[in-house]
Structure 1
Amino acid sequence: MQKLFPKNGSKFPQLRFAGFADAWEQRKVSELADRYDNLRVPITASERVAGETPYYGANGIQDYVEGFTHNGEFVLVAEDGANDLQNYPVQYVDGKIWVNNHAHVLQAKEERVDNKFLTNALKHTNIEPYLVGGGRAKLNADVMMKINFKVPTLPEQVQIGKFFDNLDHLITLHQRKLEKLQELKKGYLQKMFC
């Protein structure tokens, strides 16, 4: 992933898809995405009604509930309570979701950026310098909207977003296969070595 994003002040990544040669431009998150934190609604575990809608917090899905707060393509960024500051929780979601007040909700401005590209660009950004607070680090909304990174043309963003999306799906498939094989091995071991 390092080679697909420019580094050390360069306007060009080391690795490109065929047909793209334009320089990447520096942009702030506020220029690329709108924030929909105002629609977030936290629900205590005891008040949640079980359903099919993923209920998101800082570190991903916390539960499945009835109803939704957002519907569409979004990028969720941990606000506070992130469990890994080195691999800061950023995820792409699509469809009906319920988001609590521990995750920021961004949506790419259609004419400017692709949501999947935005997800990967934010994942590739070192968020730690932007965090405030002591034991429970927090990413303030205003600070998040000022984060800068380089952005290619929209067609190249779409290509990069699809590339990483395909890799993520492949990883998930292999992860499931690995888990099934581990369970199979465990079952054989239990039967052979009672």
Structure 2
Amino acid sequence: MNDTQAKYPQLRFKGFADPWEQRKVSELADRYDNLRVPITASERVAGETPYYGANGIQDYVEGFTHNGEFVLVAEDGANDLQNYPVQYVDGKVWVNNHAHVLQAKEERADNKFLTNALKHTNIEPYLVGGGRAKLNADVMMKINFKVPTLPEQVQIGNFFDNLDHLITLHEEKKRQLERLKSALLKKMFADKSGYPVVR
């Protein structure tokens, strides 16, 4: 691969021709870890706000620590180091101390693009520690990858967000069909009486 090819992805949206440039996370986003508040399960007050840890939603609670668009990156306790937990959130969330909280700098980056760029990055070499691997904040902010102009980031971010939404819809449909199948299996085979409930 020559230098020119390295600056452009193989597939792009129409109308974009600018080269992608190498940027550190610190150039693209601000970190809001200082607002995180961990709460033990026994102290949580049930509510509607998603309570996030390293691997996603752990509970629903009252109140919130962050309100807006953010990118959550596992700090420690990630359950899959190859597909490192990185999530886009929008709205009120409560984040504990096991996930870093990033927010794209408005004039430089798009949160949805940043989410997918970090998901696409191999995080494992940046982790420290033995049994419980940890992504230190300072190390995370130095991770770098190639990024396009902001308008192209927005296009890419929205595209993958729409795909994620579609996947979620199909997963829910699959779950509903599995529940239906399970219910029908119970009713369409003979029970103790020797007859099925539904024929």
Distance, in Å, in 2 between the alignment partners of 1:154 and 1:41 is 32
Equivalent of 1:187, from 168, 183, 186?
A: 183
Q: Give the unaligned 5+ runs of structure 1.
A: 1-8
Distance, in Å, in 1 between the alignment partners of 2:103 and 2:63 is 20
Q: Give the unaligned 5+ runs of structure 2.
A: 192-199
Matched, 1:144 2:140: yes
The amino acid of 1:180's aligned partner reads Q
Equivalent of 2:92, from 89, 96, 99?
A: 96
Distance, in Å, in 1 between the alignment partners of 2:184 and 2:61 is 37
1:192, distance to aligned residue in structure 2 (A): 1.6
- Give the aligned partner of residue 72 of structure 2: 76
The aligned length equals: 188
Distance, in Å, in 2 between the alignment partners of 1:179 and 1:64 is 22
- Give the aligned partner of residue 4 of structure 1: none
Matched, 1:117 2:83: no
- Give the aligned partner of residue 133 of structure 1: 129
1:100, distance to aligned residue in structure 2 (A): 0.3
Matched, 1:41 2:32: no
The amino acid of 1:83's aligned partner reads N
The amino acid of 1:146's aligned partner reads K
1:189, distance to aligned residue in structure 2 (A): 1.1
- Give the aligned partner of residue 19 of structure 1: 15
Distance, in Å, in 2 between the alignment partners of 1:66 and 1:177 is 29
Where 1:145 maps in the other structure, the secondary structure is: helix
Where 2:6 maps in the other structure, the secondary structure is: coil
Please report the RMSD computed on the Cα atoms of aligned residues, expressed in angstroms.
1.4
Equivalent of 1:60, from 40, 47, 56?
A: 56
Distance, in Å, in 2 between the alignment partners of 1:26 and 1:20 is 17
The amino acid of 1:157's aligned partner reads Q
Residues 145-184 of structure 1: CA distance to partner in whole angstroms, max 9, x if unpaired? 0000000000000000000010001001111111111111
Q: Which segments of structure 1 move beyond 2 Å, counting only runs of 4 or more?
A: none
| TM-score normalised to structure 1 length | 0.95
Equivalent of 2:165, from 157, 161, 169?
A: 169
| TM-score normalised to structure 2 length | 0.92
Distance, in Å, in 2 between the alignment partners of 1:98 and 1:81 is 17
Matched, 1:29 2:25: yes
1:187, distance to aligned residue in structure 2 (A): 1.1
- Structure with higher Rg: it is 2
The amino acid of 1:174's aligned partner reads H
- Give the aligned partner of residue 6 of structure 1: none
Equivalent of 1:153, from 149, 152, 168?
A: 149
Distance, in Å, in 1 between the alignment partners of 2:61 and 2:183 is 34
- Give the aligned partner of residue 194 of structure 2: none
